[in-house]
């Protein structure tokens, strides 16, 4: 067990290290000077430019040698200090991220969990009912084939602009201020629903299809044959099949995270939903490198944590992994 | 108790048509008899054995009856067969190595299966432990997962599980094929012991290995290309086979004490016919050294001597003489 | 796992795992992971061409998928022919579809239909580039790791684990924000370089199981060089699987590109299906009810990928007799 976790931790640490370095490296190794870009937005007099540049460079640390900047970066990371944002100067990056994160998590976590669970159930059901299969399969493929941006545009158009059922943008009504009142919370949910539905639908199809294929395979496996031959009920056979099919799906979940996050970002931007996605979009628009870097690190950490959780879940669910670590006897 | 199979035909549906690996097969297995079912790969013996307990996938029951203990087995009706499986008829499959669910402990598998038959685990727990010990396994095997066991161990566990409810008929499909020679012997002896102790009544042991059958079987039934060739007591088959195919099979076995730098092993030239669109008549005709024009008509599987059945014009005639 | 369409064809038919499923956008069917270890294709003897064609021509899914795909490909190729106008001519803006402009005009007065068919070209190009790049890198590394095993295999596992955990979209955002101009080539290559881990894993798993087969041992004993063994013995037996992988990669690359383009990270000098949606979003097409601007591009993309997926399923049925239901 220890070796397993040690190995996994090593990979996580390495990933974090690589991710962070890449994150830091790109802006600093790319041609162009962020401070210069920043200042180019202001119409400065040539005389005012030089001293302002000097001050800004000092403030953002770009006047130091690269290696120093790198070390400062790591030091800041450990302190939890991700720098100051350019786009929303002088807010700290960390603050901005923590403000937007809850919205994103509220969107991401239910969408992932629900699409996974519901998709698996549906897929398993479709595996044994031919009638259901004939509708679920093409539908699942259709959803799998749908690009995130399109769903994120078409749905609010249908349900929002055309039929006025749901709002098409924002996190909550413009006239409200965040508080614990029902008015605010209901507005929150109201605005949350369409983005959630978008992320949910696209993932759902894929899980359903994958599970369907897996369950079909399991239902014809030697295990199922033997269980049936010994008079096991179809229910028992199905239960075994479902259980065995869930394992690969679980490891697939870990790999899917990167993509869902991408899709989530796209959705948030389309809906102007005030989560990390929108923050990224604004950061790009204002070329706020520090904000971008901060968000990237944050996401990488999130993905690593999620992977870790899934690894533990897999350990619990699959006895083979558990026991192969303890050197099972054969 | 006995099993009587009468004109049983089982076919596989394929895209190109029906293949009939079991073609109007009739025979009887007596009470407490171990009958070996031998033949080449593809002759239909596995299909025959499996059709007695579980018709699956593309197998279709074309005709014929199976009577067990005086009652007809509804082999074509899956739902009616279910309560009879494991209790009346049971199977040790050819794929025993991969038949056990890897994510369930052995004990759990037993519990689940028993529950499907309305049997409480507690009532057979003691017996289960005794039998596990009988096959030479440690009791803690019950608490292990299948992937923790070796091939031989899995084979034995499957044997115990399949016979836990003392079925009247056990179909043992190639249970020694994947094992080394000493384990083969051990498993063969286990089968006989199970029969002695009454854990199973009759056994149909399917294998392509005649030498194992010579050790454990009471009688041997030889199949060729979906049809029966010969059936008799083991001694008779080994020493005085009548059917040309059986004779060739016996002759092709290596003998103890014979060095094969002096003599060569004799094989049977040719290959079995494809089972689709078979020519009428005896299927062994093309490879048979005794073939004649008469063989254009399928010889019936007749009892030429007491307890000795043969499907061959020539040898039936000889035997009767 | 290919980001977008994978539902790993893991289910093995006979011994063959379900066709590679590409993780669909954000949902990599675990199948992808599973089949990797379960893939055990029996050495496919050189199938007689006749047999393959016979089934291929009779498989409804394959026919449907291919035909639909063909429609789109033709539309892309014949763009100059079927489109009445070019992409940069100005007309009256905000016009709804009419006989003069089949899909109306956008906020600047460009003909939307023209943009659609020319954008199709770009999207196809990026998809093909991405698939090619990912296949090349993924297969090469997958074969090496699967065949060699040992340390090289471990190293590859580690590298793929790392790359997989870094969300590619976010990475592209960070990179793209610094690149002022981006071309189709860049986008295609970038997509390829971020999706190859899935291919590598799948190929590695297959190679792994195949290399323990007797015919490989035979080749090795007869002194063939490793590269030759991989190319002549192992790869042909995986040919059908590899083909399916490439198809799925193609689709997933297109979907990924759409997301990138939508965020404004697409090619800066060409129009694609994704950039159309981006522009539509930027210029409030939603609020202005200019559905003809953003519905068609997404619909077309969905159609393309859907056709690919269905064709993929059909092709898998053709390759694996066990899945055939006719």
Helices (H), chain B: 45-51, 78-81, 106-116, 121-134, 151-162, 181-196, 210-216, 234-239, 244-251, 313-320
Of C138, C152, C125, nearest to C270 by C-alpha is: C125
- What per-residue confidence (pLDDT) applies to A177? 65
User: Tens digits of per-residue pLDDT, A244-254?
Assistant: 888 888 888 88
Confidence band of C177 (pLDDT split at 50, 70, 90): low
Of C177, C306, C313, the CB nearest to A292: C177
Q: How far is B97 from chain A (nearest CA, A)?
A: 9
Q: Report d(CA B150, CA B162) in Å as an integer.
A: 18
**Helices and strands in chain A: count of H runs, count of E runs:** 13, 0
Chain A residues in contact with C31 by the CB 8 A cut-off are 210, 213-214, 248-249, 252
Chain B residues in contact with A226 by the CB 8 A cut-off are 91, 93, 95-96, 99-100, 158
A144 vs C226, more confident: A144
User: Tens digits of per-residue pLDDT, A176-185?
Assistant: 666 666 777 7
Chain B residues in contact with C321 by the CB 8 A cut-off are 15
Average pLDDT estimate for C14-40? 34
Q: Cβ–Cβ of C286/A280 closer than 8 Å?
A: no
**Helices and strands in chain B: count of H runs, count of E runs:** 10, 12
User: Tens digits of per-residue pLDDT, C36-64?
Assistant: 323 333 344 445 566 677 777 878 888 88
3-class secondary structure per residue, B144-206: CCHHHCCHHHHHHHHHHHHCCCCCCEEEEECCCCCCCHHHHHHHHHHHHHHHHCCCCCEEEEE
Chain A residues in contact with C60 by the CB 8 A cut-off are none
Confidence band of A228 (pLDDT split at 50, 70, 90): very high
User: Tens digits of per-residue pLDDT, B97-131?
Assistant: 888 998 889 999 999 999 999 999 999 999 999 99
- What per-residue confidence (pLDDT) applies to C245? 86
Q: Cβ–Cβ of A259/C25 closer than 8 Å?
A: yes
Cβ contact B290:B313 at 8 Å: no
Average pLDDT over chain A reads 80
User: Tens digits of per-residue pLDDT, A159-178?
Assistant: 776 677 777 666 666 666 66
- What per-residue confidence (pLDDT) applies to B133? 93
Identify the segments of chain B with pLDDT beneath 50: none
B65 forms bridges with which residues in the sheet?
A: B6
- Sign, CA torsion B145/B151/B157/B161: positive
Q: Report d(CA C52, CA A143) in Å as an integer.
A: 30
Q: Report d(CA A215, CA C11) in Å as an integer.
A: 8
Q: What is the ipTM of this complex?
A: 0.88
Under 8 Å CB pairs connecting chains A and C tally to: 306
Name the B residues in 92-151 with CB < 8 Å from any A CB.
93, 95-96, 98-104, 112-113, 116-117, 145, 147-150
B303 forms bridges with which residues in the sheet?
A: B309
Candidate from A16-20, A60-64, C78-82, C123-127 with smallest mean pLDDT? A60-64
Residues C237/C240/C242/C244 CA torsion (nearest 10 deg): -160
Q: Output the CA–CA distances (angstroms, integers) from residue B101 to A239, B137, B174, in the order listed.
A: 11, 19, 20
How are beta strands B302-305 and B308-310 bridged, if at all? Answer: antiparallel
> Is the confidence at residue C124, as pLDDT, over 50?
yes
A285 forms bridges with which residues in the sheet?
A: none
Query: Cβ of B79: how many Cβ atoms within 10 Å?
Result: 8
Q: How far is A324 from chain B (nearest CA, A)?
A: 9
- What per-residue confidence (pLDDT) applies to C19? 41
Name the C residues in 295-324 with CB < 8 Å from any B CB.
321, 324
> Is the confidence at residue C16, as pLDDT, over 70?
no
- What per-residue confidence (pLDDT) applies to A112? 92
Chain A residues in contact with B116 by the CB 8 A cut-off are 231-233, 236
Residue B105 gets which letter from DSSP?
-
The reply to whether C311 touches chain A by the CB within 8 Å rule is: no
- What per-residue confidence (pLDDT) applies to B173? 92
Subunits next to B (3 or more Cβ pairs <8 Å) are: A, C
Which site among C24, C264, C277, C299 would you substitute to test the A interface, given the most A Cβ atoms closer than 10 Å to its Cβ? C24
- Is the backbone of residue C90 left (phi > 0), alpha (psi -120 to 50) or beta? beta
Q: Report d(CA C16, CA B319) in Å as an integer.
A: 51
> Taking the model in full, what pTM does it have?
0.81
């Amino acid at each position: 067990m220890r070796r397993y976790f040690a190995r996994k931790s090593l990979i996580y640490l390495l990933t974090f290290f690589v991710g962070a370095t890449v994150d830091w490296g790109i802006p600093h190794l790319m041609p162009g000077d962020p401070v210069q870009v920043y200042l180019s937005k202001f119409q400065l007099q040539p005389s005012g430019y030089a001293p302002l540049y000097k001050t800004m460079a000092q403030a953002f640390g770009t006047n130091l040698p690269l290696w120093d900047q790198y070390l400062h970066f790591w030091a800041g990371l450990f302190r939890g200090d991700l720098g100051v944002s350019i786009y929303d100067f002088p807010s700290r990056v960390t603050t901005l991220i923590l403000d937007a994160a809850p919205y994103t998590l509220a969107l991401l976590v239910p969408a992932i969990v629900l699409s996974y669970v519901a998709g698996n159930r549906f897929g398993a059901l479709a595996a044994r009912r031919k009638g259901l299969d004939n509708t679920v399969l093409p539908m699942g493929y259709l959803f799998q084939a749908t690009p995130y941006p399109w769903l994120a545009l078409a749905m609010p158009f249908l349900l929002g602009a055309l039929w006025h059922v749901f709002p098409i943008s924002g996190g909550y009504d413009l006239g409200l201020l965040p508080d614990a009142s029902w008015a605010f919370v209901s507005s929150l949910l109201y605005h949350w629903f369409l983005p959630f539905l978008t992320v949910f639908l696209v993932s759902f199809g894929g899980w359903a299809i994958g599970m369907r294929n897996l369950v079909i395979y399991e239902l014809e496996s030697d295990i199922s044959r033997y269980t049936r031959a010994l008079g096991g009920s179809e229910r028992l056979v199905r239960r075994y099949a479902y259980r065995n099919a869930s394992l690969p799906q679980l490891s697939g979940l870990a790999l899917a995270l990167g993509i869902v996050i991408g899709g989530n970002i796209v959705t948030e931007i389309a809906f102007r939903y005030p989560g990390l996605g929108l923050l990224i979009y604004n950061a790009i628009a204002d070329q706020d490198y520090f904000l971008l870097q901060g968000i990237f690190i944050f996401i990488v950490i999130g993905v690593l944590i999620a992977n870790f959780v899934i690894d533990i879940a897999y350990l619990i669910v699959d006895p083979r992994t558990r026991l192969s670590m303890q050197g099972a006897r054969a | 108790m006995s099993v009587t199979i009468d004109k049983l035909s089982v076919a596989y549906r394929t895209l190109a048509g029906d293949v009939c690996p079991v073609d109007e097969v009739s025979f009887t297995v007596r009470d407490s008899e171990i009958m070996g079912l031998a033949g080449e790969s593809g002759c239909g013996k596995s299909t025959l054995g499996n059709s007695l307990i579980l018709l699956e996938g593309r197998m279709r029951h074309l005709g014929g009856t199976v009577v067990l203990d005086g009652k007809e087995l509804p082999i074509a009706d899956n739902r009616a067969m279910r309560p009879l499986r494991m209790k009346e008829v049971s199977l040790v499959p050819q794929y025993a190595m991969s038949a056990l669910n890897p994510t369930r402990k052995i004990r759990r598998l037993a519990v689940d299966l028993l529950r499907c038959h309305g049997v409480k685990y507690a009532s057979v727990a003691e017996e289960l432990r005794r039998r596990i010990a009988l096959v030479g396994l440690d009791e803690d095997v019950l608490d292990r997962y299948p992937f923790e066991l070796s091939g031989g161990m899995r084979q034995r566990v499957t044997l115990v599980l399949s016979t836990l409810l003392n079925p009247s008929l056990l179909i043992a499909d190639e249970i020694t094929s994947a094992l080394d020679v000493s384990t083969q012997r051990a498993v063969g002896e286990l089968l006989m012991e199970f029969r002695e102790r009454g854990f199973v009544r009759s056994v149909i042991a399917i294998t392509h290995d005649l030498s194992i059958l010579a050790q454990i079987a009471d009688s041997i039934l030889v199949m060729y290309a979906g049809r029966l060739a010969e059936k008799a007591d083991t001694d008779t088959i080994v020493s005085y086979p009548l059917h040309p195919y059986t004779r060739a099979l016996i002759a092709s076995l290596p003998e103890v004490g014979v060095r094969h730098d002096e003599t060569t092993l004799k094989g049977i030239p040719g290959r079995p016919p494809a089972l689709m669109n078979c020519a009428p008549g005896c299927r062994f005709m093309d490879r048979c050294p005794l073939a004649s024009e008469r063989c254009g008509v399928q010889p019936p599987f007749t009892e030429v001597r007491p307890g000795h059945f043969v499907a061959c014009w020539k040898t039936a005639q000889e035997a009767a003489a | 796992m290919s980001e977008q369409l994978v539902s790993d064809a893991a289910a093995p038919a006979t011994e063959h795992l379900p066709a590679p499923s590409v993780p669909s956008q954000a949902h990599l069917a675990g199948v992808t992971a599973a089949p990797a270890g379960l893939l055990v294709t029996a050495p496919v003897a050189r199938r007689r061409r006749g047999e393959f064609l016979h089934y291929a021509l009779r498989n409804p899914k394959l026919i449907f998928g291919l035909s639909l795909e063909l429609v789109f490909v033709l539309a892309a190729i014949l763009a100059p022919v079927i489109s009445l106008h070019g992409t940069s001519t100005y007309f009256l803006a905000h016009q709804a579809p009419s006989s003069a402009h089949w899909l109306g005009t956008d906020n600047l007065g460009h003909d939307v239909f023209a943009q659609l068919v020319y954008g199709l070209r770009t999207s196809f190009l990026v998809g093909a580039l991405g698939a090619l790049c990912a296949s090349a890198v993924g297969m090469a590394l997958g074969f090496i790791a699967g065949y060699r095993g040992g340390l090289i295999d471990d190293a590859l596992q580690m590298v793929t684990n790392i790359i997989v955990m870094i969300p590619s979209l976010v990475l592209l955002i960070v990179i793209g924000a610094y690149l002022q101009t981006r071309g189709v080539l860049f986008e295609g290559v970038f997509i390829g370089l971020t999706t190859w881990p899935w291919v590598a894993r799948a190929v590695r798993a297959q190679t792994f199981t195949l290399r323990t087969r007797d015919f490989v041992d035979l080749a090795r004993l007869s002194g063939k060089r490793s590269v030759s063994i991989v190319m002549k013995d192992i790869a042909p037996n995986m040919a059908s699987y590899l083909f399916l992988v490439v198809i799925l990669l193609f689709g997933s690359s297109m979907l990924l590109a759409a997301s990138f383009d939508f965020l404004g990270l697409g090619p800066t000098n060409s129009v694609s299906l994704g950039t159309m949606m981006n522009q539509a979003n930027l210029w409030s097409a939603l609020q202005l009810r200019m559905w003809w601007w953003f519905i068609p591009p997404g619909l077309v993309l969905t159609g393309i990928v859907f056709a690919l997926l269905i064709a993929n399923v059909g092709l898998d049925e053709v390759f694996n007799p066990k899945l055939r239901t006719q």
